[in-house]
Amino acid sequence: MLPLSYEDIVENLSEAVIAVDNDLRIAVFNQSAEKMTEMSRTLVLGRPLGEVFKRDARLVEMLSKTVAEGRLFAEYEERLHRRFGSALPVGITTSQVFDSNGNQCGAAALIKDLSGIKSLEAATLRKERLAYIGQFAANLAHELRNPLSGMRGAAQLLSRKITDERLCEYTGVIMKEADRLNSIINEMLDFARPGRLNVKEINIHRVLDSVVMLMQDAGAFVKNYDPSLPPVLGDEDQLTQVFLNLVKNAKEASNGAAAITITTRITTDFHVTKANGAPGRTASVEIRDAGCGIKPEDLERIFTPFFTTKPRGTGLGMAISLKIIKEHNGHLKIESGVGAGTAVTVYLPTAEATQ
Ligand SMILES: Nc1ncnc2c1ncn2[C@@H]1O[C@H](COP(=O)(O)OP(=O)(O)OP(=O)(O)O)[C@@H](O)[C@H]1O
Ligand SMILES: [Mg+2]
C-alpha cells in the first residue's frame, strides 16, 4: 500500500483547513489556509484564534461555539480577510474533532474559496441586466419614432410655406437632425433585434469592393486580396454593414492622411472542424489604418454600445459589428498602438469548412 496519511490529504486539500484545540489555539493550518489568508503557518500555529483572526469575527465565533457547545455551522456568504489583498468570498463549515478515546479535543473549519463562483454570478447578472436594458431601449426607440416623424413632417411642411431663406435654414436643420436621430433609432433597433441571417455562399471580395465604392474615395484604399480565397458563408447585407463600419472607423481615425490596406487571407482554423473531422479553413479580412490608434484603456470598451470618442459618434458601429460576426460564428481581433494605427481582423468560416 502506498504511504498515504491523513496529514498528507489535509495538507493538499484545495479547501483551507484551520483547526483549534479546546483552548482555541491554532493547531492545524494547511497550505490552502496559508494561500487564502496570505499568512505563514509558522506565524500562526499555537497562537490564540481570536488574536490571529481579529478581522474575521464570524470565523472565530463559529469555531468557539463548535468547541464550547458542539454546534456545527455551514455558511456560504462569508468573507475571509487576507493579509495583503482584499477579502475573499468564502464558504465555511465547522466540525468537532475527537481523539481516539472519543473525547473532544478541538474543532476544525473547512473554508472554500468562492471567488470564481462569485465572479461567474456577477457575469450572469450583468448579462441579464444588459438583456433587460436592450429590451427597454428597443421599446423606447420604437416609441420615439412616431413623434419624431411627426416633427420632421411638420418641419417639411413649414419649409414649403416660408419664403424667408434664413428661416428655411432652420427648418433644414430640424429635418437633418430628425434624420440623424432616426438613423440612431434604427441602429438601436437593429442591435436589440435577434439576428436573422440570410446565409449564402458569398464572395467576400465583392462585398469589400462595394464597401470601398460606397466610401466614394477608392484612391484611399490599397487592396491586397488573395485571389484563391474560397467563398464564405454569410449574410451579404449584414457583412456589408460590418465592413462599412470598420472601414468608416479606419477612415475617421486616419483623417484621410494615409491609405487603408484591406488584406484577405486563408488560414487553417482548428476551432472549425469539417464534417469529416479535419480542421476547416477560415477566411480573414484585415483592415489596417495608420491612424490615431486606440488607447489601451479604451480597447476593451470599444464594443460597449454608445462608447465613442468622437464628437458626433454614436458608438454603435463596433458593438453591431461584433454582434453580427458572432452570429456568423466568426471572430474579431484588434491590434492597435497609439500613433501607430489599428488593424482589425475579421475571421469568417469558409463555405467549404462545413462540408
Ligand atoms: N480604426 C480605429 N482607429 C482608432 N480608433 C478606433 C478605430 N475603430 C474604433 N475606434 C474607437 O472605438 C470607438 C467606438 O467605435 P464605434 O464604431 O463603435 O463608434 P463610433 O465610430 O465612435 O461611432 P459610430 O456609431 O458612428 O460608428 C471610436 O469612437 C474610436 O474611439
Ligand atoms: Mg464607427
Q: Which residue ranges make up each domain of the chain?
A: 6-113, 118-192, 200-354
321 lines ligand 1 (CB under 6 A): no
Q: What is the CATH architecture of 200-354?
A: 2-Layer Sandwich (3.30)
Cβ-contact 321, 249 below 8 angstroms? no
6-113 and 118-192 agree in CATH topology = no
Lowest mean pLDDT among 51-60, 90-99, 211-220, 340-349: 211-220
Distance 151 CA to ligand 2 centre (A): 27
Whether residue 22 has pLDDT greater than 90: yes
Whether residue 218 has pLDDT greater than 80: no
Q: Tell me: the pLDDT tens digits for 254-264?
A: 887 788 999 99
Q: What pTM does this model have? A: 0.59
318 lines ligand 1 (CB under 6 A): yes
Mean predicted confidence (pLDDT) in 329-347: 92
Grid cell for residue 342: 489599428
Q: Which amino acid is at 113?
A: D
Q: What is the CATH architecture of 6-113?
A: 2-Layer Sandwich (3.30)
Distance 247 CA to ligand 2 centre (A): 8
Ligand nearest to the CA of 186: 1
Distance 227 CA to ligand 1 centre (A): 30
Distance 321 CA to ligand 2 centre (A): 10
Mean predicted confidence (pLDDT) in 301-327: 87
Q: Which amino acid is at 162?
A: I
Q: What is the CATH architecture of 118-192?
A: Orthogonal Bundle (1.10)
250 lines ligand 1 (CB under 6 A): yes
301 lines ligand 1 (CB under 6 A): no
Can you give the three-state secondary structure of 184-247, one letter per residue?
Answer: HHHHHHHHHCCCCCCCEEECHHHHHHHHHHHCCCHHHEEEECCCCCCCEEECHHHHHHHHHHHH
Ligand nearest to the CA of 319: 1
Predicted pLDDT at 190: 74
